[in-house]
Structure 1
């Protein structure tokens, strides 16, 4: 009963359906990364991935050209859950899916990006397949996922593991059209900072960030959703708070949210233990593992 309530709350936030049986085939296929990768470890934790997803969307909304593509060509404002659901499936497919599933997901996104063009709010032209924009989106996502994993999964990664994650994800980013991606944690942080002069907190960004701050949800899912959203904003880099005109969170505030998330995460992880990662392990090793 509790497990089903939790799963319903999660569907409230990102959509999604039943058991991920598509990840069971074909037997033995290791996908793009394989079970020993750091990507498999980091992306397996639904809680920290949702938190990282929120913070990456906040950062991406600050780049006028990246935001323009979403503003002009997607249903983000009308269907936030649908957008998050599609992003969640892409991450699952490329991390845990078979080679065929991952290739299809990547090719589909690349085809969509080729058609997304226009002018941003400053009347500057943009293309969704611009390598510089693709790098911004890729780096803010990977940085956000990595930064949410340790405090909310309560597991420390050594520097070598962190760098391995960015090296693994660099391959995925390049297949999506990004170039000159860093392959270390420190390099990614440094590269992201180079974009700060391009960022803008205008009416469009305020609209999107306001939606993420007040994430739509039913009454029963609201406590869960609000906590995840709050943690997403706490997961931003310190330089972002002056841009979005918010005070930098205190250490006490961060610790309070982390404690609440850790308690909430126990039944959530139990309810989701037979998810995509577990199904994918069965595909690689057989049903006995």
Structure 2
């Protein structure tokens, strides 16, 4: 950044590179160039709210929240526990799903369609039964809808609380409508188009939700056993606490995560804001050469920085 001391600039570069490698993987630079430099029409123009939300560092909070919320559907969690490899290869999974988000949000329409077709092919192969003998299939439109609802609500809530420039009510309605385009392509039937519809459809799912042993194990892994070196764990702890603090009370109750209003208001929220500002500082927009061919420079993190949903 202009006028930044050399020592500070070097520290920012090291931190930004380390974060980018974690979320984008070894192919991250190549994927970023392909996503933003390939000419052609996009599903979403540079003015669309989905680009604002998915390009913000608040996605780190939203991703953890989405995983916790999604785990509460027994069929979705059974599929994740049996097929996702989230324990054995959590970073690889994060990198694949963050790339999916980046391609569908910023990439060409052809690349977005190919990414969706690839995920749909994976969903078709994922089927089984829960411990209670209930069958599940990852391509079930109802199950896909739950995953979409939890993801959209999580990214929206995290952006509203921690985003650099929160949207107004109309902007968040438009964000929900944007995500519906991707959801429909993935096989979701009747996704919400406004925030009110999103809330109503989430409420309609609540009778199906419960904290299975698999869900509680996933929550323990996400919150208390992250695959990170010890020096990084306090920072991740802030991220995890910020994600938990944005969960609805009923979800926290199911997962046995108590609300501590004073601690959350006086400590968790300010710490979360400071951490997200630091991530945003460390991961600035790509250089001008990295513009996508819609003509607008992408927002910070546009190459895929948020840990998204487990079913993608």
Distance 1:178 1:7 in 2: 35
2:56 pairs with one of 30, 45, 51: 45
Please give the alpha-carbon distance, in whole angstroms, between the structure 1 residues aligned to 2:17 and 2:164. Answer: 25
| 1:93-104 paired onto structure 2 within 5 Å | 93-104=103-114
- The runs of 5 or more residues in structure 1 that have no matched partner are none
1:22 aligned residue (24, 34, 38): 34
2:230 aligned to 219, 231, 255, which one?
A: 219
1:266 aligns with 2:277: yes
Correspondence 1:3 to 2:21: no
Q: Distance in 2 between matches of 1:258 and 1:35?
A: 30
Instruction: Name the CA distance, whole Å, in 2 between partners of 1:14 and 1:259.
Output: 24
Choose which of 163, 166, 182 in structure 1 pairs with 2:176.
Answer: 166
1:157 alignment counterpart:
167
Q: For residues 2-33 of structure 1, give each alpha carbon's deviation from its aligned partner in whole angstroms, at most 9, with x where no partner exists.
A: 12442355257535234321123323x34111
Length, aligned pairs only: 284
Sort the Cα spacing of 1:4 and 1:281 in 2 relative to 1 into closer, same or farther, 3 A. Answer: closer
Correspondence 1:106-121 to 2 at 5 A: 106-121=116-131
Query: In the aligned structure 1, how far is the partner of 2:246 from the partner of 2:286?
Result: 25
TM-score scaled by structure 2? 0.84
Query: Whole-Å Cα distance in 2 between the matches of residues 210 and 52 of structure 1?
Result: 17
RMSD: 2.1
Q: What is residue 31 of structure 1 aligned with on the other side?
A: 42
Greater relative contact order (CA < 8 Å, ≥ 6 in sequence): 2
Q: Where in structure 2 are the equivalents of 1:242-253 lying within 5 Å?
A: 242-250=253-261, 252-253=263-264
- Corresponding residue for residue 132 of structure 1: 142
Question: Given that residues 55 and 235 in structure 1 are in contact (C-alpha distance below 8 angstroms), is that contact kept between their aligned partners in structure 2?
Answer: yes
Map of 1:190 onto structure 2 = 200
Over residues 84-134 of structure 1, what are the superposed CA-to-partner deviations in whole Å (9 max), with x where a residue is unaligned? 222211111100111122111101000000111110122101110000000
Q: Which runs of 4+ in 1 moved over 4 A?
A: none
For the 8 Å contact 2:37–2:292, the answer to whether it is kept is no
Give the C-alpha shift of residue 255 in structure 1.
4.8
Q: TM-score, normalised by structure 1?
A: 0.90
State the match for 2:72 in structure 1.
62
> Relative to 1, partners in 2 of residues 1:136 and 1:251: Cα closer, same or farther, differing over 3 Å?
farther
